[in-house]
C-alpha cells in the first residue's frame, strides 16, 4: 500500500465525516425552520442550510468519489461492493435533489416573499413528510455504504444491504419528528 493510497483513504474517510456532518446540520436546520414562526427566524435557519449544507454536501461527495475511484483504479478493480456503493452515491444525489433540493428551493423563495409571521401555506410546505423521509433514507444509505466499505461483501449481499437500508430509512421516515415548542404551544393555546 503506497503512501498516496493511504492518503487517498484518509481523504475518503474525511469525505465520509463531511457527509455525516452535512446530514446532521440539515437535520438541525430543518427542525429550526419547522419551529420558526417569523420570517427573520426562518432566514437564520435557511442561511445555515445554504451556507453549510449546500457547500459541504457536494464537496464531501466529490472527495469520496475522487478518492474512492483512485483506490479502485490502483488496487481494487471493479468489485460488487464498489459498484453498489457507486450506485448508492448516485441514489443519494437523486434523493437529495428531488426529495429535498427542489422543495427547499421553493421554500427559500416563499420565505423571501414572506413578511413578519410565516403564512400557513409556507408552514405546510415546511411540514412536508417528504423532507424528513429524504433525510432519514439518505442517512440509512450512508450507514449502509459504510457497512459495505468495512465488510466488502459480494455484489448480491451488498445490494441486499442497501435495499434493507432504504427500507429501514423509509420506515424511520414514517415516524413523525418530535414536535417543536411552537407547535405544542399552538395546540395548548
Residues of the shown chain interacting with ligand HEM in the complex, contacts defined by CB under 6 A: 9, 12-13, 16, 19, 64-65, 68-69, 71-72, 76, 82, 85-86, 89, 142, 145-146, 149-150
When the beta carbons of 48 and 149 are compared against ligand HEM, the nearer one is 149
When the beta carbons of 24 and 128 are compared against ligand HEM, the nearer one is 24
> What distance lies between CA 23 and its chain's CA centroid?
4
When the beta carbons of 144 and 173 are compared against ligand HEM, the nearer one is 144
DSSP per-residue string spanning 132-150 = HHHHHHHHHHHHHHHHHHH
Give the shortest CB-54-to-ligand HEM separation in angstroms: 18
CA distances from 123 to 29, 91, 126 (A): 14, 28, 5
Angle at CA of residue 76, ends 71 and 81, nearest 5°: 100
Give the shortest CB-181-to-ligand HEM separation in angstroms: 34
When the beta carbons of 118 and 142 are compared against ligand HEM, the nearer one is 142
Give the shortest CB-17-to-ligand HEM separation in angstroms: 9
| The residue count for the chain | 189
Give the shortest CB-24-to-ligand HEM separation in angstroms: 14
When the beta carbons of 20 and 28 are compared against ligand HEM, the nearer one is 20
Helix/strand/coil for 7: helix
Beta bridge partners of 117: 38
When the beta carbons of 36 and 145 are compared against ligand HEM, the nearer one is 145
Q: In the complex, which residue's CB is closest to ligand HEM?
A: 68
- Give the span between the Cα atoms of 180 and 161, in whole angstroms: 33
Give the shortest CB-18-to-ligand HEM separation in angstroms: 9
> What distance lies between CA 28 and its chain's CA centroid?
12
Angle at CA of residue 138, ends 134 and 144, nearest 5°: 150
Beta bridge partners of 38: 117
Give the shortest CB-35-to-ligand HEM separation in angstroms: 29
Amino acid at each position: 500500500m503506497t503512501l498516496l493510497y493511504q492518503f487517498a483513504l484518509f481523504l475518503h474517510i474525511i469525505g465520509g465525516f463531511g457527509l455525516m456532518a452535512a446530514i446532521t446540520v440539515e437535520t438541525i436546520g430543518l427542525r429550526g425552520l419547522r419551529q420558526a414562526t417569523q420570517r427573520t427566524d426562518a432566514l437564520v435557519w435557511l442561511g445555515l442550510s445554504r451556507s453549510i449544507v449546500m457547500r459541504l454536501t457536494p464537496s464531501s461527495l466529490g472527495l469520496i468519489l475522487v478518492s474512492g475511484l483512485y483506490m479502485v483504479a490502483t488496487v481494487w478493480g471493479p468489485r460488487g461492493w464498489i459498484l453498489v456503493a457507486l450506485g448508492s452515491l448516485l441514489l443519494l444525489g437523486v434523493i437529495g435533489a428531488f426529495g429535498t433540493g427542489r422543495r427547499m428551493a421553493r421554500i427559500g423563495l416563499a420565505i423571501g416573499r414572506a413578511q413578519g409571521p410565516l403564512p400557513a401555506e409556507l408552514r405546510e410546505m415546511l411540514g412536508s413528510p417528504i423532507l424528513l423521509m429524504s433525510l432519514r433514507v439518505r442517512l440509512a444509505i450512508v450507514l449502509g455504504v459504510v457497512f459495505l466499505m468495512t465488510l466488502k461483501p459480494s455484489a448480491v449481499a451488498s445490494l441486499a444491504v442497501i435495499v434493507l437500508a432504504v427500507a429501514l430509512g423509509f420506515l424511520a421516515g414514517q415516524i413523525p419528528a418530535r414536535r417543536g415548542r411552537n407547535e405544542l404551544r399552538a395546540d395548548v393555546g
